[in-house]
Structure 1
Amino acid sequence: MKSQEPLAVTRTIRRHELRQIVPLADTTIYDMEQRGEFPQRFYLTSRCVVWDLAEVEAWLEERRRASRAKTVKRAPMPDVQLRKTRPIKHPARA
């Protein structure tokens, strides 16, 4: 008899588990998936989408390395000169 290699068990996670691991909004995750910047979801059934946990963990580790290497593109600082109004400073009340 030939010995068979054990099957690799792939753990999948649903949206609520993904949101606990990756604290991003659903629309942000969807947009990143569309741009190829986040692991793709796949359908188990017509109503159930899941993500591969190993892919999500690898994505997080890659983001951690990129952040430490300072290669993550950060949002620009807001240009306060473009504000329409200025915040009102209330004097401290005694």
Structure 2
Amino acid sequence: MTTSKNQQIENQRLIRRKEVQTKTGLGASSIYAMMKNGEFPECLNLSERRVAWIESEVDQWIANRIAQHKATNAVMEA
């Protein structure tokens, strides 16, 4: 699957916590707990009180979760 140049640029944008929560369905405390355990992409500091995530990293995390789900279901059905 190839990604267009526009889509690559779009996925390089920084997204704030509220958008990460919307995309993943996770709450803030779950996001930070999973980050601490190395189970979720790290945020980067924009300023002293602002953080953001790289959208493509969050999208990849979502894709990995979906793949794990499908693999688990395939094993259970076999």
Q: TM-score, normalised by structure 1?
A: 0.63
Residues 1:33 and 2:35 aligned together: yes
Across the aligned residues of Structure 1 and Structure 2, the Cα RMSD in angstroms comes to 1.6
Greater share of residues in helix: 2
User: 1:22 aligned to 16, 21, 24, which one?
Assistant: 24
Residue 54 of structure 1 deviates from its aligned partner by: 0.2
Aligned twin of 1:81 = none
Partner Cα distance (1:28, 1:43) in 2: 19
- 5+ long unaligned stretches in structure 2: 1-7, 74-78
- 5+ long unaligned stretches in structure 1: 1-7, 72-94
Larger radius of gyration: 1
Partner Cα distance (1:34, 1:66) in 2: 21
Q: TM-score, normalised by structure 2?
A: 0.75
1:53-68 → structure 2 map (5 Å cutoff) = 53-68=55-70
Three-state SS of the structure 1 residue aligned to 2:38 is coil
Residue 22 of structure 1 deviates from its aligned partner by: 1.0
Partner Cα distance (2:39, 2:21) in 1: 17
Instruction: Give the 4+ runs in structure 1 shifted more than 6 A.
Output: none
User: 2:46 aligned to 44, 47, 57, which one?
Assistant: 44
Amino acid at match of 1:51: W
Comparing both chains, which one has the higher relative contact order based on Cα–Cα distances under 8 Å and sequence gaps of 6 or more? 2
Partner Cα distance (1:69, 1:13) in 2: 29
